[in-house]
Amino acid sequence: MLGLGVLSLVLGFVDHTTSWLDGSRSALTVALTPIVVTADLPNRSVRGIQGIFSSREDLRRRVTGLESELIFLRVKTEKMAALISENNRLRGLLGSAAKLQDNVLVAELMGVNPDPEEQEVVIDKGSEDSVFVGQPVLDSRGLVGQVVEVSPFSSRVLLISDERHSVPVQVLRSNLRFIAQGTGIGQQLELQHVHSTADIKVGDQLLSSGLGNRFPVGYPVGVVDKVAFKPGKPFAEVLAKPNAQLDRFRHVLLVFTESRVAEETNTSSGKGDDRGG
């Protein structure tokens, strides 16, 4: 008993301080995937049964709705393309690097961390789909979180509402920069160190600022829904509601930014040079 207990403590210590156990963890995750899939079966079958019993009329209505939405979004995208090229031309005039389009990969939700204190989800794409630790994750409305653990066929995503997570943000209206930290339960973000004279009010849109080089610039993060200046406190209490539907998304987008690809090619060519030298 003592031996196994000490072994567990040592393993815990090694896992906490080093990344030596990551390989065995991802191998075990693959071996245990059937358990996660089985646990998701009730959810999956409920959706399947709903699919079987939805009537022809319902489906037709949905298809028409989706088609009109598609046309609407296409028009918007065309406008966006023009705007992007104009933006890049102007950035060229200013001498700054052109913004590149991000590539995305769609992933489906596989499981949720049962501990309500830990806002984590498991998605069905892993290192086989070149998902990497630290990769930003979005849904159709805004930033969801980042990948914290990768195994070959699944990965774990830490949501922005987790207490351990912070994201650098910028207020769209006033360009003020803050850090938005998760608050745990309740799907809220708290802005850190907001000065009581800061220009921020309820309804302000927060975008990712791109500082910290983790999240790409300009994705919606949240909307400010409470600003409280307390006399005697050095900072104001500002809460924001995430744009992403953190408690009900089924599909998420994994973002591959071009700069990272460029970095990778740089490093790999560097390695090649080393080998050549």
Partner 1 sequence: MIVVADNETGGLVTIWITIIAGMVLAVVPMPQFVPVELGFLRPDWVAMVLVYWIIALPHRVGILTAWLAGIAVDVLLGSLIGQHALSYVLIAYVAASLYQRLRMFSVWQQAAVLFALLGLNQLAGFWIESIAGLAGWSFWYLLPALSGAFLWPWVFLMLRSLRRWIGMT
Single out the residue of 19, 23, 28, 106 in contact with partner 1 (rule: CB under 8 A).
28
Nearer to partner 1, 120 or 204 (CB): 120
Distant-in-sequence, close-in-space partners of 48: CB < 8 Å, separation ≥ 6: none
- Nearest approach, Cβ of residue 155 and partner 1 (Å): 10
- Nearest approach, Cβ of residue 14 and partner 1 (Å): 8
Contact in structure between 251 and 125 (CB atoms under 8 Å): no
The Cβ-side half-sphere exposure at 36, using a 13 Å CA radius, reads 20
Distance separating alpha carbons of residues 17 and 153, to the nearest angstrom: 25
Nearest to 138 by CA among 179, 98, 167, 175: 167
Distance separating alpha carbons of residues 175 and 192, to the nearest angstrom: 16
Interface stretch with partner 1, choices 114-122, 135-143, 190-198, 209-217 (CB under 8 A): 114-122
Interface stretch with partner 1, choices 24-32, 134-142, 198-206, 259-267 (CB under 8 A): 24-32
Nearest to 202 by CA among 224, 172, 180: 224
- Nearest approach, Cβ of residue 140 and partner 1 (Å): 17
225 binds partner 1 (CB under 8 A): no
- Kindly identify the residues of this chain, within the stretch 177-196, that bind partner 1 according to CB under 8 A: 185
113 binds partner 1 (CB under 8 A): yes
Looking at the chain, the number of H-run helices and the number of E-run strands are 4, 12
42 binds partner 1 (CB under 8 A): yes
The residues of the shown chain that bind partner 1, judged by CB under 8 A, are 1, 4-5, 7-16, 21, 24-25, 28-29, 32, 35-36, 38-40, 42-43, 111-118, 120, 149, 156, 164, 185, 247-248
